[in-house]
């Protein structure tokens, strides 16, 4: 049977340090309660990185916190907005009819793109996830001004000025309004937690119509 060598006692280690010869040329000239310390300077490379990081922080702070420097989040939002514009350009001019809105609300790519536009224009009052703040919750099934799906583009275009919903007909293109309508229709039923309670006048409306069937595949060549 083997036995473990005895662990060195802490006192032994301290005693060994006491015995080590002291290099007086390195000892600093102050002493606190009998404790003296060696001058152990940090390595030059470390001190240089530390100093340069402080120097670098000054223009960084001025550009990103006081100047025009965009944050990562702002860059991301600008990219999302550019992506939405790119998508919109590929769709051509859209009409605010039922089939078009139903088609795009079921188009995942379009909905990802429109999330950025919704966030930019509508989140101020409806919040980015649509659960409502100043404006009503758009993620439940109760609506005040909307009875059928094609009412959505009308409301976005004309607003409900007296109640605080701005008109967007002059600020957004017809196609943007159709796509935002699809986005609003697609938010329905998401019931985002913490959503605003329905307005007293809001009523649960009939479900949206079924989406149009996908375009029939072209007949295979005979
Ligand atoms: C300045 C705040 C504000 C902004 C910005 C805003 N809304 Fe509204 N929105 C409201 C208010 C307030 C109402 C409720 C109107 C009412 O009580 O009749 C509303 C109502 C609506 C409704 C009707 C909901 C219902 O229950 O009938 C829709 C749809 C809607 N907004 C979509 C949008 C979209 C899309 C955008 C962005 C393009 C947007 N809103 C931007 C404040 C806003």
Specify the residue with its C-alpha closest to ligand 1, atom 23: 145
Write the pLDDT tens digit of every residue in 58-99. Answer: 999 999 999 999 999 889 888 888 888 899 999 999 999 999
Residues with CB under 6 A from ligand 1: 121-122, 124-126, 134-136, 143-146, 152, 155-156, 160, 163-166, 168, 180, 184, 199, 202
Find the 107 Cα to ligand 1 centroid distance in Å: 23
Query: Is residue 10 over pLDDT 80?
Result: no
Number of H helices, E strands in the chain: 8, 4
Short-list 65, 130, 105, 122, CA closest to 211? 105
- Read off the pTM: 0.74
HSE of 116 in the Cβ direction (CA atoms, 13 Å)? Answer: 20
Domains of the chain as residue ranges with CATH: 22-63 (no CATH), 74-204 (1.10.760.10)
pLDDT confidence of residue 1? 53
Q: Collapse the DSSP code of 183 into the 3-class scheme (helix H, G, I; strand E, B; otherwise coil) and give the result.
A: helix
Distance 161 CA to ligand 1 centre (A): 10
Computed over every residue of the chain, the mean pLDDT equals: 90
**Which contiguous run of DSSP H or E holds residue 39?**
none
Residue 92 Cα to ligand 1 midpoint, Å, equals: 26
98-113 pLDDT tens trace: 999 999 999 999 999 9
């Amino acid at each position: 049977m083997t036995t473990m060598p005895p662990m060195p006692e802490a006192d032994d280690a301290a005693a060994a340090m006491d015995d080590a010869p002291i290099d007086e040329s390195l000892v600093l000239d102050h002493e606190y309660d009998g404790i003296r310390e060696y001058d152990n300077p940090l390595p030059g490379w470390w001190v240089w990185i530390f100093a340069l990081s402080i120097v670098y922080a000054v223009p960084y702070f001025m550009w990103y916190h006081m100047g025009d420097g965009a944050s990562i989040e702002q860059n991301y939002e600008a990219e999302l907005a550019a992506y939405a514009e790119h998508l919109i350009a590929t769709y051509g001019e859209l009409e605010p009819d039922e089939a078009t809105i139903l088609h795009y609300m079921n188009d995942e790519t379009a909905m990802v793109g429109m999330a950025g536009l919704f966030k930019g224009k509508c989140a101020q009052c409806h919040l980015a996830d649509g659960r409502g703040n100043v404006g009503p919750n758009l993620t439940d099934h109760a609506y005040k001004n909307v009875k059928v799906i094609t009412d959505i583009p009308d409301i976005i275009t004309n607003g409900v000025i007296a109640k605080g919903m701005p008109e967007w007909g002059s600020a957004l293109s017809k196609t943007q309004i159709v796509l935002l309508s699809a986005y609003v229709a697609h938010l329905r039923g998401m019931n985002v937690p913490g959503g605003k309670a329905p307005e007293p006048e809001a009523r649960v409306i009939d479900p949206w119509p079924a989406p149009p069937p996908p375009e029939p595949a072209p007949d295979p060549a005979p």
